[in-house]
Structure 1
Amino acid sequence: MFSFLRRTANVVGESSMKALKMEGIQGWQKELPMFKLNTPKDLQEWAIGCDKDIGGTNINNSSLFMLTCHALIFMIVANNLGTGFSEAKLEITPEGVGKFSGNLSLELPSNAEIEQSGYAAIRSKVRPSSMFGTPCWDTTLFRYLAMRVRGDDRRYFVNIQTDGVIQTDLYQHRLFLQNAGQWQTVMIPFRDFVLTNNGMIQEDQIDMMREKVKTVGISIADREEGPFEIEIDWIKAMNTESTEGDMDRNPHGADVPEVDFTK
């Protein structure tokens, strides 16, 4: 109870400071830092899991299987449905960045209901709540979710959970890496994320509650056995010089073409 009240007091204090600084009416912003993965303490804000923790899936359609696996990270703590054979870890490298790595195995457990396996994911932990609710990231003033990463040529997904009514809703997008093994900043427009629920793409694509981004994650379930590795330096909400959220801006008095960072 004391910690709950302390968090509530902290929220009140932070809100008061923002009001004094008039942060709510400031102009264009380039970025909103969300996560950095540079120290062991930073990694305490993240959860990690794979089929070895959860236990495979009974979905036998490859596309549905991949999407379902990306959603299963939210069930790690609450479920123990069996076992798979994939392994995953999240650690700090000697260079001081987070590394999500492991080995995917398609080997099936001795369970007749399990038809496919081979997935792993990390996800930021939900921050402790107060009487004002669960703390969330307000990304409405920014167009892109950006992350500085270096990875292999495996297929990864980025996952966003909002503080919506349906807690199983998950917004997803492929994490396209241009050059394997090289550091790059990937910028994904928030409006390009696809709404899924329990691994199923939803027919009604409801806009993301970008003022209530609760968690961000990265997952892999590409139906290929073998090692995987992706390093993450930071994750931010960002604008370019020509964007202000979903609005275009013209800071130099000339037409500035928008760059598609997802191709």
Structure 2
Amino acid sequence: MSRFRGLWQASVNATKRALSWNLEDLVPPNEKYIFNFSSAEELKRWHLYSDSEYGGLSSASLEIQNPVNGSSCTGLFSGNLSLDINESSKWNISRSGFCGMRSKKFDGFIDLDAYDTIALKLKGDGRCYISTIYTENWVNFPGQQEDNSWQAFVFVPKDNWYIAKIPLARYLPTWREGGFPGAKSGPGDFHIEVDWIKALRSQT
């Protein structure tokens, strides 16, 4: 009798969970915020990196831009790309010149199974940037500890807000040099302002 009661209670609990599902659980919304630079708290979700960790002389910073004329807060990623190498570097490198910002994994991976496009609201300097998505390794090879990375180029027009939409199918599993014709490249100052990053579901 006690075993039957336990099974019955488990069935009741499962029914309650099913009834508590809302529409979003069954049909995901057409868009989902992934990151929104609406406050200084957002900065805690990101990690900055550059070639300075290996003896390069590039630098980068990420800060929140306060609202102007009723606009919302945004994140400003800026710095300087340098191809030079510190002569006292202990690393045996012959090339430098990279900076980046990478989100931290607080709660594991973000579920994007229901979506097919990444959208970013950006304002930049006419440079070409790289958007990277990291996915969990399903097969681990000896010595391979990093997550798989998928990358796509993003050209950001100068001084005007622009919403870049990148289909997930455009992300490539390997890094390739290149960019967009006419995009500014090479050493020097850079800056890109980010309002938000979303996942979109364009296919129904």
* TM-score class normalised by the smaller sequence: 0.7 to 0.9
Determine whether 1:104 maps to 2:81. Answer: yes
SS in 1 for 2:62: strand
Q: Which digits, 9 at most, give the CA deviation of each residue in 1:143-188, with x for residues without a partner?
A: 21001110111221000001223534200000122x3110011100
Q: Following the alignment from structure 2 to structure 1, what is the Cα–Cα distance between the partners of residues 196 and 45?
A: 13
Cross-structure match for 2:128: 155
Out of 185, 189, 198, which is 1:227 matched to?
189
Out of 105, 109, 116, which is 1:126 matched to?
105
Tell me which structure has the larger Cα radius of gyration: 2
Pair 200,230 (structure 1): closer, same or farther in 2 beyond 3 Å? closer
Q: Following the alignment from structure 2 to structure 1, what is the Cα–Cα distance between the partners of residues 38 and 23?
A: 31
Deviation at 1:17, TM superposition (A): 9.6
Q: TM-score, normalised by structure 1?
A: 0.59
Pair 32,91 (structure 1): closer, same or farther in 2 beyond 3 Å? same
Question: Alignment length, in residue pairs?
Answer: 169
AA in 2 matched with 1:94: N
Identical pairs, percent? 29
AA in 2 matched with 1:143: D
Cross-structure match for 1:44: 44
SS in 1 for 2:173: strand
Contact 1:106–1:223 (CA under 8 A) maintained in structure 2: no
AA in 2 matched with 1:107: D
Please list every run of 5 or more consecutive structure 2 residues that lacks an aligned counterpart in the other structure: 1-16, 68-72, 141-145, 178-183
Determine whether 1:142 maps to 2:115. Answer: yes
Give the superposed CA RMSD. Answer: 2.4
Pair 97,140 (structure 1): closer, same or farther in 2 beyond 3 Å? same
Cross-structure match for 1:193: 171
Cross-structure match for 1:24: 25
SS in 1 for 2:21: helix
